[in-house]
Structure 1
């Protein structure tokens, strides 16, 4: 198979940047787009000025204000505007290729192995895309360029904002070996801590273990780690991927054994899922709770409602009831997840399947 040319484009602080562009008074200020603290909201996106204080997406808004008392909240988010801008960005992508796999409104993979304008250089195409986004939309994007999706995505995050990072084919394996494990896409704090506890700090450390050993330590993800540290990722760019569900999950540094804390986490996850549903104009009938216990046993519980919903209150109340039907008095919970599926026909098109938090 011919080597692919993959670009990952990630808009810089997308929602917040659109707000700062449209309202010059917000430029240079710490802002957060999302739900208000008094409404148990979460941060959808924070400007780079806010990120300096530690404000991050998916963080409870109440916590964000504690970190940055002068934080300006934009609520509710203007999803209709963000979708319009996202379509404009997508139109720029289509000038070069139709092999586009959106991950959300603000990021996408592009396969430019064969590009429409016969430029031939993935780096050249990435530069032109970034320039068009800047000149036509007054926004910035970061790009990662390499031979597969995994490496391109990591590369796009290396020099944000407004960065462009190229990992050439003959440097991919070396790059993966040098990469700290916490920079691997999909390896969060808990997994990274486990790896560090096993003296696994870089890709090179993972590479010393056999696939059997990695699977024993990390389950089915072990097989993926075995491939990716060798620069192997054969996943194609998939245009028009249909969304089956919207979900959010979080693995906790300390196991939860207090029902009050469990409810707080479910409220937060429900808020994140609600944002995503509203972003894509989706409503679903089936609400799912996912639990992973401290002994790694896992269960899911679902409830199908008479009518499709997308509001935080209903989603949070439903997963709480599902939780209360489990044996929480003796439980120590390592992970909680909230999902909505079974979308109705009147729902709008969605372009992302899942949001995971680590």
Structure 2
């Protein structure tokens, strides 16, 4: 039997979001209905609202979420009703060439629910990142549900669903930061700060936060940065080198996604060091580097997809670290809000006033 819930819908490009009635179908084979308890307000949702990802309006926004499985469809074995889960947007297929090679975090055929949620008049909705969690309930593929310890508050657990996992994974999984490494993170928003927290978890010896916003640099120190560089006041490449004995950092994580900051990351790393791109560029951006420098500096230039995470492996581990007091997820939550406050939260996020606004349902 279908259900009707309240949800936040982006009706068209750059239009204000609206609270609409959303129709949730019964879960079909391989699907699950989740009662959403909390969902973070992420830049990706703003990009959907602005039409920067696709034109498949109307969108049901929200994806960085945690909640409780309410109902599952036929054939579902991963989760059961009553499980506390974090939602992920890369449900691995288990069959593609990446999965068959034992690298499911690179899965090339991730999937979402087959059925569509709709507006009350039957208009199909496009759920953000296949999730659509700015709603009291949502329909997802069961593989998008990762069971974690229910002792974790939903407002912090849900952050693993996107930004925090992307940043931590960029440091731990993609950058392979290890004990004693020097790490520089360029761009200290939610993802960059999570990369700093990941570097701290790995035991990095020197963690350098780089940003043009003094407020963001203060927050970066709270989550684990040992040094800061205001790149609006000094050359970040020279500053990082000065802080690393003149050599550059072992790992530089670029969390902005712009050609100019990528070049900074490239030249701020040590010889044979690693650059990790986790900031998401826009389609028109291009990059030019001297090929001799690419060869001569050696090392690795990597892109990090969702922190190269495997949700079934990484989400429970990070929740356990949080419960042990070793990962401060609370620091990422600036405020908790209601569904009706999302338009204002987008503006605060755009203005750099918050690290994360989290909707509580």
Range of TM-score over shorter length: under 0.3
Return the structure number with greater helix share: 1
